[in-house]
A and B are shown apart, each in its own frame.
Chain A
């Protein structure tokens, strides 16, 4: 149990293991379309389960932070709008851009908007299969069909922040463009989920 340990700045812990994100072409050798679809989603999973994404897709109250996913410091809560508590919401500290600290290592992340994923989209601790099922379910993904999901993965700015996370944080593997391509290929192959 480490939750009471203050989060060390990510710059000073070993960076999340550098991962290479493969493109859709790397999966063309899988003949079975469903198998290929599953493999594509598993590749997407490198992004989905990266600390940059998981930190703001918690299944409990508040976010985590850093490459080692420590509890957010200062302690914050989700709030009714996934945007913190009245009097201390996300925008009390996070602005529209990453801001490097002055005279201190690291930076505070930022993007407009900056908020937690809804509770229905929490996936910390879930298997890839569970995440996959959840991500496809309009009841839980904010009413997105697969096209909207692709657009979210490929275009959404806050998703894209995962590859531009500011000093002291390891970017998600690959690029948003590649993540979008993987999503496209996954959809085109039937959006199958890992079991």
Chain B
């Protein structure tokens, strides 16, 4: 099992056992080894991917946030493969915030998101493992006086035909003195031993016995727990505070104004919450969002109707108007909260001009300078210890770094050094914004007399996720791809195309939500396409295959595969409906077929078949888990979830009773097929989500004839 205690901080690391630490950044010219003295007493700097201890354990510093999607196991697998380690000796630890060492190679900064953990780490981690292996071999050659070429490494044993053999730990001190290879060779994929096979996840045991350490589990001497009373409406400003009653609550130590609201500091969580309840606050709502979400959706509809910036344009703009038949549909999508099971939280300790933080930082590159800025410190004086996160689904990936900012403001406003744990409650989480943007799609398609699609228009309207954040620089020509990704570059030949995006601003903060733009674009595209195919008299699977562009080979393959495992052409049970959908997101291709029943006018999903192509399947077990989980996450959302603003702009959902999670009795059976591929691996954390909701809508329409153009399904029956 892995070492996953809340104290997996720099301190724990400094106290590490003897061995050697390999720091390795690409390009490899920057690589260096750092040695522990033979005595094992000298400390290591925490700037490495691989640490081999004298007890043979190999600890991989994981530069990506472990929030359930599996990077601890996945990245350790890459190192173990090239190191020829035995899986049982592998450990994983969260790497601290350090851009120079732990940047996401696709971002150029440390951060986890866009299902990039595996994709950007694939060669880097393999090279890290390969370099460590080469140094162990050199060490053995030197100690044994034999040529390095005669030495083999397998399952954690270094051996020579003469009969000499050793574990890694005994060689670690010598290996630390060896030169780091410039460009260590990596294996031919056909020689993989671990990659592509199932093996236990490194964090399962600790998470099943309650010892896995998360942010909320951090307790430090003298720590105060802090909750913040935030504005009741988005954009409202604090006018006045009466904290007299709050300060009377036993355990409440202070109350401070910070930019996000009023912070209550107490000796424990209950006292802090009670103190917060006792605050008397007045808010200025003059700049607040006061529209209801029903009004906002209507405004989005109007904006989509009016057009927007051109995202993609090809072919004859008049193709649709001249078609034999024209179909039109408007799709409406609500705001969605991520609702990770561990609400947002962070711990900060300030001491003599320096700060140390413990939390599930998903973007340390933003969080560190933001906290440093608030505290008036240099970024290098702020240490971020990245802990396990109890889910994120995008919620902790904050371009605004608002959580780091808030906890730093809490520390600053205290007016003294100290330790502060900031805790958000479930209400804070569901009412606190940073939602998947509410979105409207207006689609039109033209079909000719032979049933061919001759034109396709999609007008998307929503808020921009990136505008107003440090990510704004990624926008080009005023376009935010995360708002419409998946509505363009379709794998289908749909004739002439016009895809537009209308940006509509609101004070409601929005954020990427597991699979981002694909959460709505896949639904709009795949449901509308299904309806068009039905109109044209085509089978949903064959109709899609017939439309597939020649270059869309991987889409074709997953669609054919899912049809095969679901027995699409043969499976037609009485009283059940079947639907299919396909989406490529984050470089991964997923097709799903879904079986649904009608229970008192509401869908009950009994089974989902899923085919995924994510390139090399590094750990099939993790890939299946992410498909299963993505399906359940997407299903609960499609059935039940919407964050709504009532008249006046207040959020109407408070807790899980009003924002309902999928429960075990609603979870379908899931069968996953992973396509064999030699392509570089791509992510699996998000891509299981997009096809589920459209497959559900298509199955439901097939069963009941009812079209579903507004999510969630529960709005149909309200």
Contact = CB atoms under 8 A, between A and B. Distances in A.
Interface of A: 1-9, 12, 73-75, 102-105
| Pairs A-B, 9 closest by C-beta atoms | A103-B273, A6-B660, A1-B717, A1-B601, A4-B602, A102-B273, A73-B657, A4-B714, A103-B425
B277 A73 contact: no
Interface in B649-675: 652, 654-660, 663, 665
A12 B273 contact: no
A12 B653 CA distance: 10
A105 to B, nearest CB: 7
Nearest to A101: B655
Contacts of A102: 270, 273-274
Interface in B676-717: 713-714, 717
A74 B276 CA distance: 27
Interface in B185-232: 227
26 contacts: A1-B600, A1-B602, A1-B717, A3-B600, A3-B602, A4-B639, A4-B713, A5-B717, A6-B640, A6-B657, A6-B658, A6-B659, A7-B657, A8-B657, A8-B658, A9-B654, A9-B657, A73-B656, A75-B663, A102-B270, A102-B274, A103-B227, A103-B273, A103-B276, A104-B655, A105-B654
A1 B276 CA distance: 38
B702 to A, nearest CB: 20
Best-buried of A4, A5, A12 by chain B (most CB within 10 Å) = A4
A74 B663 contact: yes
Contacts of A74: 663
B616 to A, nearest CB: 40
B660 A73 contact: yes
B427 interface: yes
Contacts of B270: 102
Interface string B86-111: 00000000000000000000000000
A1 B273 CA distance: 37
A104 B430 CA distance: 12
Interface of B: 227, 270, 273-274, 276-277, 425-427, 600-602, 639-640, 652, 654-660, 663, 665, 713-714, 717-718
A8 B276 contact: no
A151 B627 CA distance: 58
Contacts of A12: 652, 654
Contact of A5 (B655, B663, B718): B718
Nearest to B655: A104
A84 to B, nearest CB: 14
B604 to A, nearest CB: 10
Contacts, number: 57
Contacts of B227: 103
B423 to A, nearest CB: 10
Contacts of A105: 654
A104 B656 CA distance: 12
B196 to A, nearest CB: 39
A124 to B, nearest CB: 15
A103 B427 contact: yes
A4 B555 CA distance: 35
Nearest to A5: B714
A75 B665 contact: yes
Nearest to A104: B427
Contacts of B640: 4, 6
Nearest to A6: B660
Nearest to B603: A4
Contact of B426 (A1, A5, A8, A104): A104
Given A2-B717, A4-B602, A102-B270, A9 B639 contact: no
Nearest to A70: B657
Contacts of A6: 640, 656-660, 714
B603 to A, nearest CB: 9
Contacts of A104: 425-427, 654-655
A104 B426 CA distance: 9
A5 B644 CA distance: 13
A8 B600 contact: no
A2 B718 contact: yes
A168 to B, nearest CB: 11
A66 B287 CA distance: 35
Contacts of B601: 1
Contacts of A2: 717-718
A67 to B, nearest CB: 14
Contacts of B717: 1-5
**Interface hub of B654, B655, B657 (most chain A Cβ within 10 A):** B657
Q: Which of B273, B277, B654, B713 counts the most A-chain CB atoms under 10 A from its CB? A: B654
Nearest to A73: B657
Nearest to A11: B654
A66 B645 CA distance: 21
Residue among A6, A7, A103 facing the most chain B CB atoms (10 A cut-off)? A103
Nearest to B277: A103
A37 B277 CA distance: 49
A103 B266 CA distance: 14
A156 to B, nearest CB: 28
A103 to B, nearest CB: 4
Contacts of B277: 103
A146 B235 CA distance: 61
Given A102-B270, A103-B227, 9 more contacts: A3-B717, A4-B714, A12-B652, A73-B656, A75-B663, A75-B665, A103-B273, A103-B274, A104-B427
A5 B649 CA distance: 21
A118 to B, nearest CB: 24
Contacts of B655: 104
Nearest to A103: B273
A123 to B, nearest CB: 21
A100 to B, nearest CB: 10
A100 B384 CA distance: 37
B280 to A, nearest CB: 16
A9 B659 CA distance: 11
A114 B426 CA distance: 27
Contacts of B665: 75
Nearest to B276: A103
A9 B658 CA distance: 8
Nearest to B717: A1
Contacts of B600: 1, 3
A12 B644 CA distance: 14
B584 to A, nearest CB: 31
B669 to A, nearest CB: 19
Contacts of B602: 1, 3-4
Contacts of A73: 656-657, 660
Contacts of B714: 4-6
A74 B602 CA distance: 18
A171 B179 CA distance: 79
